[in-house]
Structure formats: C-alpha cells, structure tokens
Chains A and B, each alone.
Chain A
Amino acid sequence: MNAGVKFLLILIVSLEISFTLNFWVNVAIIIVSGFYLIYSRLSWQRYALLLLLPILPALGAWTSFTMHSTTENGEQLAAIMITRIIAYIWLGAAFSFTTNMSSFLDTLEQKCYIPTTFIYGLRGALSFMPHIRQEIKTMQQAARMRGIILRSYSPQLLFKAILISLQWAERLSTAMISHGFTENEERTHFLTVHINKRDWLFAFCLLFTLQMIYIFS
C-alpha cells in the first residue's frame, strides 16, 4: 500500500476513535492492524515490544477509569480506553514499523505538493539522526572534564544543542545549495510515485466497514 494513503487512512481512523466511544470498533481496529503487522513479518523483538508496551498504560487506564470516572459504568469505559490505547499503538506501528520514510516523503512531495524546501530540509535533518546521541554524549563528557555535570534539563545542554543545530543547518544548507538544490524550484524525479486505484479502493473499503461497525454495534 502506498505510504501516503496508509498515513491518511491511519490518521483518519486514529482521529475517529479519539472522538468516539465504541468498544467493538476499537477491537476491530486492533484485529485488522494486528493481522497487518503479522503479514508484514517484523522481527520478534518488535512483536514483543508491541505486546509489552500497552501493559502499563492499560493498567493505568483501568485503575483510573474504574476509580475516578463520573459515569456509573467505569468498567465499560475502562475497557474502551484500554482497547483505544492498544489500537493507537498498533496503528502507529502499522505505519512506522512498516513504512520506508523516504518513500513517504516522496509521496508527500509529489502527491501532496508540500514545498520541496520542507521535504528536503527534513530529509537532510533526518540524516543527522544517528549522530545525535553521540553528540549529546560528547557535550556531556566535555563538560564533565571541567567538572560540570550537564543533565537533560540543564539550560547549557539545550543551548549547546541549539548551537550545534545552527551550525549543522548552516553547513548542510550551504552544501545542498552548492550541489544544485534550488529552493522551491520545480524538480524532476527519478522515482515517480504512482498511487494505485486499488490502494484507494482498499482504504475506502476499510473505512466503510468501520462506519458499518459503528452503526450496527
């Protein structure tokens, strides 16, 4: 399925369950996203993570809604909230664990017409992600050599992060421009994104089924 269509579908479904209280809809979403995740063949660590992650929030939702809710039927509400939490996590995983970010950004650029400056700026910044953990460690160790301990809430650490961001942004944008990137200029594409009619149809059918469950449950 095209990344953009998947994103849109998951976003609509997530927003819809945020504003409605329906246990069976949540269960249906959990089942469909569960099947999709199994079909996507993730590593067993990721499956374990997906099973473990909801436990604590679910317990929290159970105790808080059964003890502090204003409705008489706290258990029912708690069940809806617990299934909602699992639905969010699995829906999120159905996107972020299975989607190639680069092709998602391709779709945003070519089909949603987001300005190329944003798309390529984001691509550039994302390529720094692997260095960020190291950079923060470097800052902390450099400070420790002078006997200063920088914690994650120290203004100095955040200030240094801003300085580094500015420096990297300056260098990267200069490098990109000197390699021929022109801001918001029409671009040609090596890989053109095509969204199959089948993808739209599939997404529409899923959404339609979901509305039917709302009506008949």
Chain B
Amino acid sequence: MHTKWSLRDVIFLALIGVFFGFIFWAWAFAYNAIAALLTPMGLSPYANDLTLGPWVMAGPMAGYLLRKAGASIIGETLAGTAEMIFGSQWGIMNVVYGLMQGLGAELGFALFGYKKWQPISLTASVILTTVVTFIWDLFQSGYANYSFGLLVGLFVTRLISIALFGGVLVYYVQKLVDKSGILNQTKVTVS
C-alpha cells in the first residue's frame, strides 16, 4: 500500500466518479417515480433509502481499485463534486453527501488497516456507510422527528439497498476486475 497520489490516480478516480454518477443518473427518475407513488401515504422518505445504494458505489469501488488510505473518501467526494458540476439539483450538498458516504466506506476499510480487500471489509464498509449516512440524515433530512417504527423501517431499507449495490454489485465488479488482471499489470510510469 502506498499513499502518494499520482496524477493518473486522481484522473482515474475522478473518471470513475463521473462514470458511476452518470450511469446512475437514470436512477433519479426511478427515485422520483417511487417518491411520487409513496407520497400520498406519507412514506416518501422510503424512496430516499431505497435508492441510496447506487450513489454510494463509487467509494468502495475506488477503495478497492486503488487500495490506498483515503481513496474511498476522495473518490466519493470527487464523484459528488463531478455530479454538482454536471448540474445536479442538489448543488453544493452533493459534495457534503459525497464526503459522508465516502467516510462510511473509508471507515470500513480502515477498520482492517487497509490490508484486507475481501468480503469481510466490504461488509464492514456497507454497515458503516449505512450508519454514517443515516446519522447524517437524522439531521439533514429531519429523520430525527420521525416515529421510531418508521425509522427502523428506513434503516433496514437503507441497509438492504446499500448492501445490494455498495456490497454485492461492487463485489461482482471486483471479481471481474480481478479476473482481468488489469490491476496487477506493471503500471506505465512517466515521470
């Protein structure tokens, strides 16, 4: 594990952020459709938690690909920044969301000293991302004022969504990356 950031790493991270941001940009429609369906029952926060998974993928993916301290948090924050520049409706809060989501994933990998890049550390990152983003939403989206039953439901929904996208899907992409061997290639270094 090395911690120095090269230009190539930064561009790579930012591009992954932009790609992932764009691929899941389509999810904004799904989010709006689900939110519209749930609004009459007062359950629109479920739309939030149900669709959160795709947006937190860039963090664990970047952490795994670069295997550096800080890759998840920087990757996810860059993704948020790129999304803001793309013209997302949430503007500056995208950067803050990115920071929070990246922080969760980062903590998961840090727990294992950035040495384990296996399902166990990915699981830790899924759980911690859920917890960190949920605490953030207690304030930011006013979740603290919902009834306990709704909160439990929202937390479980969020955990499932993040586990599916930030866990299972990331794991399968990692397997493809491993099989291709692109990470083991001797890197072309120009300096």
**Same assembly:** yes
Does B152 have its Cβ within 8 Å of any Cβ on chain A?
no
Distance in angstroms from A52 CB to nearest chain B CB is 10
Q: Interface readout for A165-199 with B: 1 if CB under 8 Å, 0 if not?
A: 11011101110111001010000000000000000
Residues of A participating in the B interface, judged by any CB pair closer than 8 Å: 7, 10-11, 14-15, 18-19, 21, 53, 56-57, 59-61, 63-71, 77, 80-81, 84, 88-89, 91-97, 101, 115, 117-118, 120-122, 124-126, 128-129, 132-133, 136, 152-153, 155-159, 161-166, 168-170, 172-174, 176-178, 181, 183
Whether B19 contacts A165 by the Cβ 8 Å rule is: yes
Nearest-Cβ distance from residue B20 to partner chain A, whole angstroms? 7
Complex Cα–Cα for A105 and B5 (A): 18
Q: Which residues of B contact A (CB under 8 A)?
A: 5-20, 22-24, 26-27, 32, 35-36, 38-45, 47, 54, 57, 61, 65, 78, 81-82, 84-96, 139-142, 145-148, 150, 165, 169, 172-173, 175-177, 180, 182, 188, 190-191
Tell me the minimal C-beta distance from A140 to chain B in angstroms: 10
Closest to A81 in B: B142
Q: Are B177 and A162 in contact (CB under 8 A)?
A: yes
Q: Majority SS of interface residues in chain B?
A: helix
A118 and B10 contact, CB distance less than 8 A:
yes
Name the 7 nearest CB pairs between A and B, nearest first. A92-B91, A121-B10, A60-B44, A125-B14, A67-B42, A169-B12, A165-B15
